[in-house]
Amino acid sequence: MSSTPTTAGPDTVVLVHGLWMTPRSWEHWVPYLEAKGFTVLTPGYPGFEIEVEALREDPERIARLTVPETVDHLARVVESVETPPIIVGHSFGGTLTQLLLARGLGSAGVAIDSAPTEGVRVNPWSQARSLYPALRRPSNRGAAVGFTPEEFRYAFTNTLDAEASRQVWERYAIPAPGRWVFDYGLLANFKPGPQETWVDYTADRAPLLFVAGEKDHIMPPSVNRANARHYRRSPAVTDYEELPGRDHWTCGAPGWERVADLALDWAVDHARTDRPWVAA
């Protein structure tokens, strides 16, 4: 693929990681996209400026994190870019991408294996099984909750063999804020009133592509399709693409280049370039 920035289009890509991950999860994408001429930003969540190993030693900062402060932090990064950038998010980073676009930010967004925004009431069995390690104890809601190597393999890397999966776990995996899993996971739709991951599905915004992996256990294609369908009354472009044989670790698993090319090419082709995109 040969997408490159143009004088009329975006020249920056902002990559937003998901739960159980840090910006390190994008380490292969950064030079790959830079070689195509883009500036690449990989902001961590607030307090995630340290390395994976240090976060494992200090999980309290993870447990305290909130979604609003994270969205505000990421919004400041996006707003610092002179030309509205492309925003690409993986997993809960896909949710955050949707929240950023809902604020009127970005020229285009790509949500890969996205966790859903509020109101997406599709909860496949594999998703429930993937999230069970976090949900099985009520006390986990106030804690930072990690996966064992075996739990991680089921949720993230089910197309890899055990040794390859463990290598991924050792290099990238950290705990996740338990409150996020409880409040925005399987139980989100049972809480009254709008939640922190609510978006106006009818509003205009930058174009958005959902990319799902056929073999994804934790955020299966049915979840991503349902999320995309919620935007059917929006005048903005919303597309959906499903990749055969891909699991949740699709941005790092063998063949990740195809995922990067799909995200970049679609975003460049659909980016809003008529004017700087600002919230109404």
In a domain, 7, yes or no: no
In a domain, 50, yes or no: yes
pLDDT at 6 (0 to 100):
56
- Token pair, residue 186, equals 């399987």
**Could you report the per-residue pLDDT of 160-186, keeping only the tens digit for each?**
999 999 999 999 999 999 999 988 865
Confidence of residue 1 (pLDDT cuts 50, 70, 90): very low
In a domain, 16, yes or no: yes
Whole-model pTM: value is 0.93
Domain assignment of residue 169, given as a range: 12-270
In a domain, 5, yes or no: no
What one-character DSSP code corresponds to residue 277? Answer: -
Confidence of residue 73 (pLDDT cuts 50, 70, 90): very high
In a domain, 83, yes or no: yes
Mean pLDDT of 209-216: 98
Mean pLDDT of 191-217: 89
- Give yes or no for residue 195 having a pLDDT over 90: no
Mean pLDDT of 19-42: 98
pLDDT at 189 (0 to 100):
56
In a domain, 2, yes or no: no
Query: Which residues, other chains included, contact 254 with Cβ-Cβ below 8 Å and sequence gap of 6+?
Result: none
CB of 88 closer than 8 Å to CB of 267: yes
Total count of domains within the chain? 1
- Token pair, residue 77, equals 């990064």
- Token pair, residue 14, equals 């902002």
pLDDT at 121 (0 to 100):
85
In a domain, 18, yes or no: yes
Q: What is the CATH number of the domain that holds 241?
A: 3.40.50.1820
> Considering the chain, what is the average pLDDT of its residues?
92
Q: Which residue has the tokens 């909130």?
A: 66
pLDDT at 9 (0 to 100):
87
In a domain, 277, yes or no: no
- Give yes or no for residue 275 having a pLDDT over 70: no
